Amino acid sequence: MEQVIVIGGGLAGLSSAMLLARAGIGVTLIEKKNYPFHRVCGEYISNEVLPFLETLGVDLNALNPARINHFQLTSPSGKMLQAPLDLGGFGISRFVLDHYLYQLALQLGVKFRLQTTAESVVFSGDKFTVTLSDGTVLQSEVVAGTFGKRSNLDRQLNRSFFTARSPFLAVKYHLKTDLPKNVIALHNFENGYAGISAIENDRYCFCYLTTRQNLKTHKTVAKMEEKVLCQNPHLQKIFRESKFLYAQPEVINEISFAPKTAVADHVLCAGDAAGLITPLCGNGMAMAFHAGKILAEEIAAYFQHRNRALLETRYTIAWQNQFSARLRVGRAVQQVFGKKILSEMAVSALQKMPFAVQFIMKNTHGKPF
């Protein structure tokens, strides 16, 4: 029987598995793809993660990230707000970062089952039975769910958010363009907003969130970009003057920002599986790392006290203390941006209230950990 099974090999899953392996706890990680691969993600990380990355043994300089210290926000008509990022951050693609962490995890002794999905997770008799898509059946004492924004396991675990349709979809490109490498910019358009920031190797991540209705109205992604996104002159410039490096964009549907639980039928959820911060807050990757740290700490403690109820209670409290307020602020901010009139008014108002910009940043970012 396994000690811990981690389902999902993103940042939360990889970092928690690495910490557990370092603590001498046996970990098997299940990932449906094979590294390296692209993910729909803004690919900006707040510098709050730097101390933690050092503890994982990450040599960040070897990955050649873009260093980011300035923020821009534009309205659909092109009005611009600019502000320094007090803590700052860096840009790195998930293609590079996840693969690097995977290699470190292998060195630490984490066992991987790649190109495999967990078809079912059943808790009975104080242990988990996990059935994989290749027919393998595994058992473990603890299961961590780090399977991302939306998974068939959410349906099986009867998570309430899964039954409610979400109006949102996200589109991501990598591109080459002539923009400052130290700036992360968020550009509003009708029924959505787009983020762009530099990553490694003189490339940029360009990712946007919009509604399924927006796509339905314009039939294709390309036509929607032409008719809607390009109404913002800053986005029009990006589309006209950039070299897009994908033949097709990465697209995901049914992105839910509804509250989720940190524990579902005894599965400990982390990263986007436990709660998704709105992309305009630009801090999901840092939160995933922090969640992986909390998850590993509480699981390691469990193997000392062997009290499952205590494990679930402590993990839930720790997760809520760290993230619940940030998620609430993110959801509140999203009610303003992406709406044409409101976002025009918000950018105009924030231009005159730099303290409000700093308040939003402070309350959607954490402290170094």
Task: Show me where the domains of the chain are located.
Answer: 2-364
Give residues with Cβ within 8 angstroms of 323, minimum separation 6. 274, 275, 287, 290, 291
Is the pLDDT assigned to residue 90 strictly greater than 70?
yes
Percent of the chain with pLDDT strictly greater than 90: 75
Q: Which residue has the higher pLDDT, 81 or 93?
A: 93
The reported pLDDT for the residue numbered 32 is 97
Burial bucket for residue 279 (CB in 10 Å: 0-12, 13-18, 19+):
buried
List C-alpha distances in Å: 310 to 87, 208, 300, 315, 317: 35, 40, 12, 8, 11
Provide mean pLDDT across the span 151-163.
87
User: Which CATH number applies to 2-364?
Assistant: 3.50.50.60
Provide the H-helix boundaries in the chain.
11-22, 50-56, 94-108, 152-156, 212-218, 221-227, 233-241, 284-305, 308-334, 340-351, 354-364
Which has the higher per-residue pLDDT, 350 or 134? 134
**pLDDT tens-digit readout, 199-240:** 999 999 999 999 999 999 999 999 999 999 999 999 999 999
Query: Taking 90 as the threshold, does the pLDDT of residue 15 lie above it?
Result: yes
Using only C-alpha atoms, what is the Rg of the chain?
Answer: 20
Residue 306 DSSP class = -
Q: Which of 99, 74, 29, 85 is nearest to 283 (CA)?
A: 85
Mean pLDDT across 168-174:
95
pLDDT confidence of residue 282: 63
Structure-block tokens of residue 101: 């962490």
Can you tell me the mean pLDDT for 334-350? Answer: 75
* Closest alpha carbon to 212 in 239, 186, 191: 191
pTM of the shown model: 0.93
Q: Which tokens hold the place of 68? A: 């980011």
Q: Write out pLDDT tens, residues 27-48.
A: 999 999 999 999 999 999 999 9
Tell me the DSSP string of 3-41: EEEEE--SHHHHHHHHHHHHTT--EEEEESS-SS---S-
Over 80: is that where the pLDDT of 332 sits?
A: no
Angle between helices 284-305 and 11-22 (to 10 degrees): 30
Contact 44, 89 (CB under 8 A): yes
pLDDT band at 341 (very low <50, low <70, confident <90, very high): confident
> Average pLDDT of the chain?
92
pLDDT at 62: 96
279 pLDDT higher than 80: no
Nearest to 274 by CA among 168, 165, 151, 363: 151
Query: Residues 72, 73, 77, 78: what is their CA dihedral angle, to the nearest 10 degrees?
Result: 0
Structure confidence at residue 280 (pLDDT): 59
pLDDT band at 165 (very low <50, low <70, confident <90, very high): confident
